[in-house]
């Protein structure tokens, strides 16, 4: 379905299917971008390493990212499929994958919300004409309650383990690349995992422990910078700002501030989901940044949490600023360049369907104006001709004058 965030995709090929899937994912996340910004601000301000550390306010961080945001996504996904009733059962079903997961279940919410709403839509279509008058509210409420509760149980039993295994598999793959000294290729797995909101699992579950062990021996570790590098996200957002869809450009500057200065990378994930091909830009930028870190021997003394440029500066060992900042800059530049190409420098941003029509209309304007200017003259000439002809018809002819006389 088309929304302000997901323009209509035509065609049935693999490319169209991927774009349509990305559009649905973006349609679930983008309407809730305000909630992501709120969580990002709370995180950047009140966590122990934030600007205004506060234990009581910082307690909002984990419940918001682990419960509220996935439920909002499930709610929105259900609403896209079956209106308000779909939204309610989508939120209930999402709770099944959220409870006890220990990680942000955005992927599970994107599955359970629309799926449960679709099941309810089918059931509603079946019983709508079979419900006796006066029992509509009772049947509707119990139908939604039964389906929502069953979906929550199914999500907790079936979907949550699958998403957890996907998370573990992504972490294991990254660990294998690290052990085989193929660190730049880690971006091929890390960046897609980040976009699916598995960044915390990859960073704190795999890269963080490995980095701590290495930092204990050498005083610094490159592991801390593989996932947390703010450069790729900054580059993609910059490409969006200059060449992205015009309807989204006003939201990009705030996202850049929160992502690069606040270190909240989740803020740019929905932009990738809207244009899935841009994941190639973050892959390229991440690989370039890791390669630069390796060449310059850069490393951090601890995990930069959140992944802000300020956190990077605070965790950089003495004398290591050149390599760290150079890696971030190169990652941002490469990501921006690749993202700009993938957006066609504005031609492939989603507005290209209307721009050619406007250009064609503009090209035809002079001719149209000329025609419009000449039309009244032609019409007046015709009217004058008809008037003269009418006068000629009314005037007595040589044949009729004598007869009338």
Q: What is the pLDDT of residues 2-42, one digit of tens each?
A: 455 444 556 676 656 666 666 677 678 778 877 876 876 78
Closest among 193, 223, 238, 200 to 331, alpha carbons compared: 238
Are 159 and 101 in contact, with CB atoms under 8 Å apart?
Answer: no
Give me the pLDDT at residue 131, please. Answer: 85
- Percentage helix, strand, coil, to 5, in the chain? 80, 0, 20
pLDDT score of 405:
34
CB 187 within 8 A of CB 294: no
What phi, psi does 300 have (nearest 5°)?
-115, 160
The answer to pTM > 0.85 is no
* Partners of residue 218 on adjacent β-strands: none
What is the rounded CA–CA span in Å between residue 262 and residue 244?
A: 22
Q: Is the pLDDT of residue 225 over 50?
A: yes
- Residue 182: other Cβ atoms inside 10 A: 12
| pLDDT for 374 | 44
CB 28 within 8 A of CB 73: yes
CA dihedral 332, 337, 341, 344 (to 10 degrees): 80
pLDDT over 90 (residue 352): no
Beta-bridge partner residues of 221: 300
Whole-number pLDDT of residue 310: 87
Within 13 Å of residue 243, how many CA atoms lie on the same side as its CB?
A: 20
In this predicted structure, what is the pLDDT of residue 86?
A: 96
Rounded to whole angstroms, the Cα distance separating 127 from 129 reads 6
Residue 368 CB neighbours (<10 A):
10
The reported pLDDT for the residue numbered 101 is: 82
């Amino acid at each position: 379905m088309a929304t302000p965030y997901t323009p209509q995709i035509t065609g049935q090929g693999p490319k169209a299917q991927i774009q349509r899937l990305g559009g649905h994912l973006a349609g679930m996340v983008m309407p809730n971008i305000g909630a992501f910004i709120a969580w990002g601000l709370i995180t950047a301000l009140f966590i122990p390493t934030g600007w205004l550390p506060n234990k009581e306010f910082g307690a909002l961080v984990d419940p918001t990212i682990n419960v509220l945001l996935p439920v909002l996504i499930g709610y929105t996904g259900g609403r896209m499929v079956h209106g308000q009733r779909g939204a309610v059962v989508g939120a209930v079903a999402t709770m099944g994958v959220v409870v006890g997961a220990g990680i942000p279940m955005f992927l599970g919410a994107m599955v359970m919300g629309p799926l449960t709403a679709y099941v309810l839509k089918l059931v509603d279509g079946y019983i709508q004409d079979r419900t006796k008058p006066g029992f509509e509210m009772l049947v509707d409420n119990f139908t939604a309650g039964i389906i929502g509760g069953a979906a929550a149980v199914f999500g907790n039993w079936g979907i949550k383990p699958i998403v957890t295994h996907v998370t573990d598999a992504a972490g294991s793959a990254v660990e294998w690349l690290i052990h085989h000294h193929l660190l730049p290729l880690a971006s091929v797995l890390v960046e897609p995992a980040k976009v699916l909101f598995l960044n915390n699992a990859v960073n704190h579950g795999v890269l963080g422990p490995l980095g701590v062990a290495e930092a204990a021996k050498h005083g610094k570790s490159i592991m801390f910078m593989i996932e947390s590098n703010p450069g790729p996200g900054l580059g993609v957002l910059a490409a969006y700002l200059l060449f992205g869809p015009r309807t989204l450009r006003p939201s990009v500057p705030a996202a850049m501030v929160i992502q690069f200065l606040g270190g909240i990378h989740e803020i740019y994930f929905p932009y990738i989901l809207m244009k899935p091909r841009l994941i190639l830009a973050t892959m390229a930028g991440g690989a370039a940044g890791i390669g630069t870190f390796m060449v310059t021997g850069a490393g951090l003394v601890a995990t930069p949490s959140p992944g802000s440029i300020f956190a990077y500066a605070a965790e950089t060992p003495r004398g290591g600023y050149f390599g760290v900042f150079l890696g971030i800059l190169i990652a941002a530049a490469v990501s921006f360049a690749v993202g700009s190409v993938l957006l066609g420098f504005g031609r492939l941003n989603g507005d290209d369907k209307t721009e050619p029509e406007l250009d064609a209309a503009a090209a035809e304007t002079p001719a149209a104006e000329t025609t419009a200017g000449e039309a009244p003259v032609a019409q007046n000439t015709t009217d004058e001709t008809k008037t003269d002809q009418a006068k000629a018809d009314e005037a007595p002819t040589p044949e009729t004058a004598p007869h009338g006389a």
